[in-house]
Chains A and B, each alone.
Chain A
Amino acid sequence: MFAFIIRRLLQIIPVIIGVTIATFFLTWLIPGDPTNVLLGPGASEESRERLRDSLGLDQSLVTQYLIYMGNLLTGDLGQSISFSSPVSEVLFRRMGNTALLAGAAIFVASVAGIAAGTWAALRPGSFRDRGLTIVVLFLNSMPSFWLGLVLILIFGLHLRVLPVSGMPDPQSGLLTLLAHMALPTITLAAWSLAAIARMTRSAVLEVINNDYVRTARSRGVSEARIVLFHALPNAIPAVLTVIGIQMGFLFSGAVLTETVFSWPGVGLAMFQAISSRDIPLIQGGILMLALIFVLINLIVDVLYVYFNPKIRLN
């Protein structure tokens, strides 16, 4: 098991290198002088000279890349044009907010998705199963920003029960925080819920028809125990993979939701960066999101192996 984790960590290295190469090349792919790209059109000739020196812009690409990597390893992601502060600072400040939203969304999506998928799988072809399929189709088809706006309309404007934008001060208390989180969480969770519910349904269906479930039944074990202790544990690995992938999407998909709800997270920052051509921030943001995605996948792989003794003990 331990050897497996180490091996997987080592496997990440080439992926990370690949991602950094891609983000590095971003400066060169955008037309124009790199100093324009990185400092904005209004920069002074002095700062441009300094940048050329420190990044080695007149030297070979390989040297530049190495300088870039060196900077990365010390945490220097460049300077954000629109925020006028280091990119790393901007990202880290906002990471927490996005993580909060994404975390809540994945929690809601997982709990509701697994429950709904299991419930439907126990009665395949029935009314509730078909009902679930329709709901899932609906959730899958709705663009997140549309759902967000509709929720704002219903809960914010018509019913006036929930706040519709922004993130409250930490001093305002937990309840206010949850109230502000409610709508964006649901919006963000919708698509993932559909994917998780669908995967759970098919995984449970497959497992519940297995011979070992019949063995348990033949010994008098109740349906409830069968679902909880025989079916779900064997269905979970497949669902876990989907949850992991969804988490990756949630971090990056938060862009639209955060924008609609003005939630001050990485996504909103990215949106603003794109609008103002703040390339360093875009670069840094992509890199960070890619890293998070890779790490989440690693965790999912480890959990998958943990739940599957056959692989674990080999």
Chain B
Amino acid sequence: MTGKTQMTHPAQPVEPILSVDGLSVSYGSARQPLNVVKDVSFDVAPGQVLGIVGESGSGKSQTVLAVLQLLAEGGRISGGQVRFEGAELQSLSQRRMRKVRGQGIALISQDALSSLNPSMKIGRQMAEPLIAYDGLSASAARKRCTELLDLVGIPAPAHRLESYPHELSGGMRQRVLIAMAISRNPRVLIADEPTTALDVTIQAQIINLIDDLRKELGMALVLITHDLGVVAGIADRISVMYAGRIVETATTDQIFAASRHPYTRALLSSIPKPDQPRGERLKPIPGLPVDPREDVRGCAFNPRCTHALASCTESLPAMIAAEDDGQHLFRCPVDPFRLAEAEGPRARLQGNGGMS
């Protein structure tokens, strides 16, 4: 089973605006490929927020770069399909992809300092595609950029157009990236770790900004992050990735209260929480994250999993649906009661917002 889902009430199926089906991304030669994304599937409905959560090496960034065909030199889509508004993207030429980028699907990268051209003024960078491709005159583009900077909360926007990236603070640079991303009215916004390296108070502002803009402009949002707290507040659905695969996809509430995959549960348990009483030992996940160069047989999380069954080493667990919700998908054969039990008396079984 793939990540295909029905978005809302089963009686009114909505066609997903972005649909990824069995996507695989590889680097290196065909004989010795480095598979960084393996058979990833998910859907995003119009106006919906999908959170993709994973740690380093999970392949989350590579997945979205592949959607826009922005992979680094040596990378390629080695399988699967990407559909945007019904049309296939993965086989489009670069020339056709350019029409989609920015106008259909926009990307907000992490690390705003390196994502902005250091020797070009902000205004010029922002206006470039507007003037070159959208037919705006220089003054019309200027006006639009000023409006956009104002929309993302940058004070003295007209003045800021003349600044260089290094003259702005980290938070402001991120806002500029956001303004650039929405400048051509995309229908889908992909935010790749937009708040890493920002102060926590600025992080909160940026996430709220992205969510507000999304609602105002009616965009769908794919938010990629390693921080479960960040995604908890705004995502409708969350996909958890590990070692290049999606291991679980469910609604936000299900992920936090009733997760069915050991990695998701272990991840939730391992995070120090502000309400954790002192003296209670943290439960980090033992062992090391898997090396993407290794192609493991069976489940990649197996060496670190406390519930591993014999079958887990032999073959990759298939993606199955929960009994009570066909949209809750996960790759693990372990019985849910075993999962909860093993966590000991601390596990709160009621959906109290904490871990289950």
- Do the two chains touch directly in the complex (Cβ atoms below 8 Å apart)? yes
A residues less than 8 Å from B129 (CB atoms): 219-221
Q: Which one, A211, A217, A220, A313, contacts B111 given CB within 8 A? A: A211
0/1 per residue, A222-234, Cβ < 8 Å to B?
A: 1101000110011
A2 CB to nearest B CB, Å: 19
Interface presence of B337 (CB below 8 A): no
Q: Which one, B117, B133, B164, contacts A212 given CB within 8 A? A: B117
Asked if residues A219 and B111 are in contact (CB atoms below 8 Å), the reply is: no
Asked if residues B184 and A220 are in contact (CB atoms below 8 Å), the reply is: yes
Asked if residues B106 and A218 are in contact (CB atoms below 8 Å), the reply is: yes
Asked if residues B109 and A214 are in contact (CB atoms below 8 Å), the reply is: yes
**Which residues of chain B from 84 to 110 have any CB-CB distance to chain A below 8 Å in the complex?**
94, 98-103, 106-107, 109
Q: Which of B50-58, B66-74, B136-144, B245-253 contacts A (4 or more CB under 8 A)?
A: B66-74
Interface presence of A309 (CB below 8 A): yes
A209-B72, A214-B109, A218-B101 provided; 9 other pairs, C-beta below 8 A? Answer: A212-B118, A214-B115, A215-B177, A216-B117, A219-B106, A219-B129, A219-B180, A220-B184, A223-B94
- Across chains A and B, the number of contacting residue pairs, with CB separation under 8 Å, is 81
Interface of A is mostly: helix
**Which residues of chain A from 21 to 76 have any CB-CB distance to chain B below 8 Å in the complex?**
none
B101 CB to nearest A CB, Å: 4
A residues less than 8 Å from B99 (CB atoms): 220
CA distance A220 to B129 in the complex (A): 7
Interface presence of B128 (CB below 8 A): yes
**A218 touching B184 in the complex, CB below 8 Å, given contacts A124-B73, A212-B114, A230-B117:** no
Q: Which one, A218, A234, A310, contacts B164 given CB within 8 A? A: A310
CA distance A222 to B132 in the complex (A): 10
Interface presence of B8 (CB below 8 A): no
A16 CB to nearest B CB, Å: 32
Asked if residues A215 and B101 are in contact (CB atoms below 8 Å), the reply is: no
A residues less than 8 Å from B120 (CB atoms): 229-230, 233
Interface presence of A276 (CB below 8 A): no
**A215 touching B119 in the complex, CB below 8 Å, given contacts A210-B114, A222-B98, A309-B164:** no
Asked if residues A233 and B119 are in contact (CB atoms below 8 Å), the reply is: yes
A228 CB to nearest B CB, Å: 11
Q: Which one, B107, B111, B116, contacts A218 given CB within 8 A? A: B107
CA distance A308 to B119 in the complex (A): 6
A206 CB to nearest B CB, Å: 12
A residues less than 8 Å from B283 (CB atoms): none
Total contacting residues, chain A, CB less than 8 A? 25
Asked if residues B167 and A216 are in contact (CB atoms below 8 Å), the reply is: no
A241 CB to nearest B CB, Å: 16
Asked if residues A307 and B119 are in contact (CB atoms below 8 Å), the reply is: yes
**A215 touching B180 in the complex, CB below 8 Å, given contacts A220-B103, A220-B129, A313-B167:** yes
CA distance A218 to B61 in the complex (A): 14
Interface presence of B348 (CB below 8 A): no
**3 A-B pairs closest in CB distance:** A220-B102, A219-B102, A218-B107
| Least CB separation from A210: chain B residue | B114
Interface presence of B273 (CB below 8 A): no
A311 CB to nearest B CB, Å: 10
A202 CB to nearest B CB, Å: 15
Q: Which one, B72, B101, B167, contacts A219 given CB within 8 A? A: B101
B133 CB to nearest A CB, Å: 6
Interface presence of B215 (CB below 8 A): no
CA distance A222 to B94 in the complex (A): 9
Interface presence of B166 (CB below 8 A): yes
B176 CB to nearest A CB, Å: 10
Asked if residues A214 and B70 are in contact (CB atoms below 8 Å), the reply is: yes
CA distance A223 to B119 in the complex (A): 18
Asked if residues B128 and A229 are in contact (CB atoms below 8 Å), the reply is: yes
A residues less than 8 Å from B100 (CB atoms): 220
B residues less than 8 Å from A219 (CB atoms): 101-102, 106, 128-129, 180-181, 183-184
| Least CB separation from A125: chain B residue | B73
Asked if residues A215 and B109 are in contact (CB atoms below 8 Å), the reply is: yes
Can you list 25 A-B pairs, Cβ within 8 angstroms, ordered by A? A209-B72, A211-B114, A212-B115, A212-B116, A214-B70, A214-B109, A215-B177, A216-B117, A217-B70, A218-B68, A218-B101, A219-B102, A219-B106, A219-B128, A220-B98, A220-B99, A220-B100, A220-B133, A223-B94, A230-B117, A233-B119, A234-B118, A308-B119, A309-B164, A310-B164
**A209 touching B73 in the complex, CB below 8 Å, given contacts A219-B101, A219-B180, A221-B129:** yes
A residues less than 8 Å from B72 (CB atoms): 209
A residues less than 8 Å from B94 (CB atoms): 223
| Least CB separation from A310: chain B residue | B166
**Which residues of chain A from 138 to 175 have any CB-CB distance to chain B below 8 Å in the complex?**
none
B residues less than 8 Å from A214 (CB atoms): 70, 109, 115
Asked if residues B98 and A309 are in contact (CB atoms below 8 Å), the reply is: no
A residues less than 8 Å from B183 (CB atoms): 219
Q: Which one, A211, A234, A308, contacts B109 given CB within 8 A? A: A211
